[in-house]
Amino acid sequence: MAWIRWTAVVSLALALLAGSGAAVYARRSLAVLDGTLQVTGLRAAVRVLRDAADVTHIRAQTPQ
């Protein structure tokens, strides 16, 4: 009967490890919505804003 308990504990530990790995993977795959990025090729500052309806607005000082 000890092997049943050992198997259950190992299965639970593996499930928790797999769940943690899936959570980390899912979190890293999401887009960055806050913060500042340095992008090469831009001549002036660009702001990306989202309004209350989650519509993205891009504000730039130059057209290119």
pLDDT of res. 64: 66
This prediction has a pTM of 0.49
H or E segment at 23? helix 2-28
Q: What is the pLDDT of residues 25-57, one digit of tens each?
A: 998 888 877 888 888 888 888 999 989 998 999
What is the pLDDT confidence band of residue 20, given thresholds at 50, 70 and 90?
A: very high
Residue 50: phi and psi, rounded to 5, are -125, 135
- Confidence check: pLDDT of 63 > 80: no
| Domains of the chain, residue spans | 2-60
